[in-house]
Amino acid sequence: MKKSLLSISVMAIAAVSCQQAPEAAKAETTEKQEAASVAGATEYTIDITNSTVGWIGTKPVGKHNGDFKLSGGSISVDGGAVKGGNFVIDINSIKDHDLTDAESNGKLVGHLKSPDFFDAAQFPTAKFEITAVEALQNDTTGTHKISGNLTLKDSTKNVTFPAKITVTDNDVKAVANFNIDRTHWGLKYRNDQSLGDKFIHPEVNISLNIEAKK
C-alpha cells in the first residue's frame, strides 16, 4: 500500500514538474511565400519603443520566458485594413524575465545568443514579412488570420496564425499568441527526448505585441 501511494505521489510530482508550451494556436508552417502586394497602401511605421516579441521555452523540469525588441519595420494599410508589412527583430536585444540571479540570467542569455540557438554574432536580426491577411468572422482566436515569412538565422519558413488587429487613422495594433516548432528553422539544440531532464521541447510560444504609427 505504501509503495502504491509512493508511486502515485511520484507520478503526480512528475506531472506537475513537466512543463509544456502554453496552450495557444499552433502556427501552420509551410515553405516561403511571396510577400503581399502593398501598392498604393499607406505605411505605418513600427513603434519600436512599444512593440515586443515575447517567447516562452520549456523543458521537463521548468521553463524560461522573455522577449525581443524590434529595430524597424512598417505596416501597410489600405481602406482601413492591413494589407502587408514587415518588422525586424533585434536578436541581441533578447532578455530573460524569470531568472532573478544576474549571473544565471547572463549565462542563459549568452547561451541563447550562441550558435546553439540564434547565433547572434552571425545573424543579428530576424525578420517577419506578411504574405497574406484574411479577415475572420465570429472567431474567438482573432480578428484576422496572418501568414508571413519568418526568417531565423539562415532559414525562412511561412507561418500562419490568428491575430487581433485594430486599425485607426493614426495607428495599427496587432496582438497574437501562438506556438511554433523551432526545429523547422534548424534550432535543434537538445531536441532529443532521450536526454531526459536536459531535453528542451521543440515547441516555443510566441506572443506578438506590435504597434505602428502613421
Q: Looking at the domain assignment, is residue 14 inside a domain? A: no
Asked whether residue 106 is assigned to any structural domain, the reply reads yes
pTM of the full structure: 0.89
In the DSSP assignment, the letter for residue 99 is -
**Which residues have a Cβ under 8 Å from the Cβ of 127 and sit 6 or more positions away?**
86, 87, 88, 89, 149, 150, 151
Rg (CA), the chain: 19
Q: Write out the residue range of the structural domain in which residue 43 sits.
A: 21-213
Q: Which residues contact 84 (CB under 8 A, 6 or more apart)?
A: 35, 36, 37, 38, 41, 75, 76, 130, 133
- Identify the pLDDT of residue 78: 97
* 6 falls within a domain: no
pLDDT average per 10 residues of sequence, the chain (214 residues): 43 47 90 96 98 96 96 97 98 98 98 98 98 96 97 98 97 98 96 86 97 97
Helical spans, DSSP H, in 55-125 = 102-113
Could you tell me the CATH number of the domain that includes residue 172?
2.40.128.110
- Does 88 fall in a domain? yes
In a domain, 15, yes or no: no
Say if 4 falls within a structural domain: no
Residue 12 lies in a domain: no
Strands 52-59 and 144-152: what pairing?
A: unpaired
DSSP state letter for 31: S
Query: What is the structure's pLDDT at 19?
Result: 61
> Is 73 within a domain?
yes
Q: Is 201 helix (H, G, I), strand (E, B) or coil?
A: coil
Q: What is the reported pLDDT for 7?
A: 42
Q: CA–CA separation, 52 vs 67, rounded Å?
A: 6
Report the number of distinct structural domains present in the chain: 1
- Give residue 22's pLDDT: 80
Which residue bears the cell 536578436? 91
